[in-house]
Structure 1
Amino acid sequence: MSTLWIGTSWKMTKTLAEARAWATGLRDHLGDTAGGGTASDSAGDTASDGARGATAPSGVQPFVIPSFTATTTVSEVLGEDSPVLLGVQNAHWEDAGAWTGEVSVPQAKDAGAQIVEIGHSERREHFGETVETTRRKVAAALRHGLTPLLCIGESAEVKERGGSSAFILEQAAGALQGLDAGELARVVIAYEPIWAIGEAGRPATAEELVAPFAALGAAYSGKVSGLLYGGSVNLDNAADLLGIEHVSGLFVGRTAWRLEGYLELLRIAEAHAAGRRT
C-alpha cells in the first residue's frame, strides 16, 4: 500500500508570526499523537522535546510549502527530525548566477527545503513557465536530492473539448523527459485542473477525475512516489477524492491554511489509509 501524501502550499500568504504559530501547532499535535511532550516554544527557534518524538499519522506523509520568507522559520520550528516534509513553491534550474529575484535549488535546500513545487498553473500563466522550464527544474531538484512536486492541469476549454487526459500526459511527459527509473521514482505528480483551483474554482466531482487519474495511473502508477489531486479540496470532499483509483494524496489550498483544517485532513487520510489495510 502506498503512503498518502497530504500537503498544502500557502502561496503568498502568512506573516512570519502566522507561519510560526501554524508550524508550532502542527509540531505539538504530532508530538501529542506520538506521546511526546508539548513543551512551549514561543520563540520558534528550536524544536521542543515533543517534536523529537513526533510521528506522522499512520500511512500518511505530511508536507507543507510556505512562502520563501517563512521557509527557515517553519524549518526551525518543525525541527530536523520532523516527519513533516518542507517545500518551496519554486526554484531556478541554475545553481547560481545573475538571476535577479530567483532562488536556486541549493539555496532552497540550505533553508531546509526537501520538496520543490514545479509548474503550478499560476506560474505557467503569470510567469511564462513552459514544459521546457519545468523539465529543467525537475532535473535541478533531483540533482540536489530534493523531491520534485510537478504540477499539471488543463483549462476549462481543454476539458470541454474532451482533451484533459492527453493534455496532462503531455505536460508530465515533457517535464519528466530523460529521467531513468530511479529518478522517476523520486517524483511526485499533482494533478490540479485549472478550472478547479483558486477562489473562482469549481470543485471537481469524483466522476470528473476518474478518466484523468486512469490515464495518469496507466502511465505512472508504481513509477513515481505519488499521484496527488489538488483543486478546491475541502473537508467535505477529501474522503471521496482519496477513494478515486490511483489517487495517493491531496495537495490542498485554503482549507489547510487554517491549522485545524489541515489536522482534520490528516485525520481523514489516516482513516482512509487504515481502511485500505483492512
Structure 2
Amino acid sequence: MTDTAVLGVRRLWIGTSWKMNKGLAEARSYVSALSDYVSRTGLPGVQPFVIPSLTALAATRDELGADSPVLLGVQNAHWEDQGAWTGEVSVAQAKDAGAQLVEIGHSERREHFGETVATTRLKVAAVLAHGLVPLLCIGESAEVKTAGESSRFILEQAAGALDGLTAEQVGRVLIAYEPIWAIGENGRPATVAELREPFAALGREYGGRTKGLLYGGSVNLDNAEDLLGIDHVTGLFIGRAAWQLPGYLRLLEIAAAHPKAAG
C-alpha cells in the first residue's frame, strides 16, 4: 500500500463506504476492476479511497496490491491497542490488516452504538498515533438545521474530536460533513444553497488546516459536479451511488474532470 505520509498530494478525495454490504467474491470483483481502471487512467488530481466491511478488508487489500494509489479504510476502530474489548478491533490491528484510513463518528455509530464526541476524540488520537488517516464524520439532525444551528453544531463536533491536537496532527485529518437529514435510503439530497453556509463555517475554521473537507449525503451522478464546486469542498464521501462499480467509476471521472482537480 501507498505510504500514508505521501498521501494528500492529490487535490480531490473521492471515496465510498460499503457499510454492511458485499461478501468476499463481490468485494474482490469490484476492487480488481477498480484497480485496473485506476492503473489505466492514473486519475490525476484525485485520491480514491474505499472502505469495505471488515471481513473484506484483507481481500480488498490483496486485490489492490502493494503499490495501489487507492486508499483502503475501515469503518470503525477502538482507541485501545489491545485488551478485553469483545467484538472490537484496534487501530493497530486494522493497520496490520492493511488499513490506511479509519472512519470515525459516522451518525449511525453515534445513534446506534453510543459514539460520543469524547470517543471520537480518543479514536482520532489513536489513529494519528499509528500513522493512519482519520476520517472524522460530523453532521446535524433535521431539527438542528431547522433551528438554524447547523454551523454551530458541526463546529462543536469537530472541535471536540480534535481538541488537544497540534497543528501538524490536525493537518493529517480528513473531515466529512454529512448532514443526517441528507444521508441514508430516506435522505433528502441537500441543495448547493443549503451547504454553502456550513462549508463557509468549516472553511473559516479548518480550510487549509486539514487534509481535506469532504461532503457526504445523497451524492449522485447528477449532483456530484455541483457539490464539488462549493467553496471549501475538497472531496466527496459517497454511499449508494458508488456501491456498484460503474457508479463509482463515473464519479471518479467527474472529479478528475473538475477544475479543482487541476489546482
**TM above 0.5, one fold?**
yes
Distance 1:27 1:275, change over 3 A: closer
Matched, 1:228 2:214: yes
Q: 1:71 to 1:259 in 2, by over 3 A?
A: same
Mapping of 1:99-110 within 5 angstroms? Answer: 99-110=85-96
Q: In structure 2, what is the Cα distance between the partners aligned to 1:177 and 1:273? A: 33
Aligned-partner Cα distance in 2 for 1:2–1:268: 15
Contact in 2 for aligned 1:59/1:273 (Cα 8 Å): no
Contact 1:2 1:248 in 2 (8 A): no
Match of 2:180 in 1: 194
Cα deviation 1:223-275 (Å, max 9, x = unaligned): 00000000000000000000000000000000001100010011000000467
User: Does residue 176 of the first structure (1) align with residue 162 of the second (2)?
Assistant: yes
Given the superposition, is the C-alpha separation of residues 205 and 219 from structure 1 closer, same or farther in structure 2, using an over 3 Å criterion? same
**1:43-192 aligned within 5 A:** 55=42, 57-192=43-178
Give the gaps of 5 or more residues in structure 1: 34-54
Structure 2's unaligned 5+ residue stretches are 1-8
More deviation in 268-277 or 241-250? 268-277
Residue 32 of structure 1: how far off its partner (Å)? 2.3
- Return closer, same or farther for 1:135/1:274 CA change in 2, 3 Å cut-off: closer
State the partner residue of 2:191: 205
Structure 1 match to 2:25: 17
Task: Indicate how the Cα distance of structure 1 residues 23 and 276 shifts in structure 2: closer, same or farther if over 3 A, else same.
Answer: closer
Q: Percent identity?
A: 72
Q: Please give the TM-score of this superposition, normalised by the length of structure 2.
A: 0.95
The answer to whether the 8 Å contact 2:45/2:262 transfers is no
Q: Secondary structure at the match of 1:93?
A: coil
Change (3 A) 1:220 1:274: closer
Cα RMSD (Å):
1.1
Deviations 1:101-129 (A, max 9, x none): 00000000011000000000000000000
What is the CA distance between 1:29 and its match in structure 2?
A: 1.1
Q: Normalising by the residue count of structure 1, what TM-score does the alignment of the two structures yield?
A: 0.90
SS in 1 for 2:47: strand
4+ residue runs over 2 A deviation: 273-277
Q: Any idea what the Cα deviations from partners look like across 1:142-183, whole Å, max 9, x if unmatched? A: 000000000000000000000000000000000000000110
User: SS state of the match for residue 179, structure 1?
Assistant: coil
Aligned to 2:4: none
Letter in 2 for 1:207: A
How far does residue 28 in structure 1 lie from its aligned partner after superposition?
A: 1.1
Structure 1 CA distance for aligned equivalents of residues 122 and 85 of structure 2:
15
Q: In the aligned structure 1, how far is the partner of 2:207 from the partner of 2:262?
A: 17
Query: What SS does the corresponding residue of 2:136 show, helix, strand or coil?
Result: strand
Per-residue deviation, 1:31: 2.2
- AA aligned to 1:60 is V
Letter in 2 for 1:157: E
| Separation of aligned partners in 1, 2:26 and 2:12 | 26
Alignment-derived partner of residue 7 in structure 1: 15
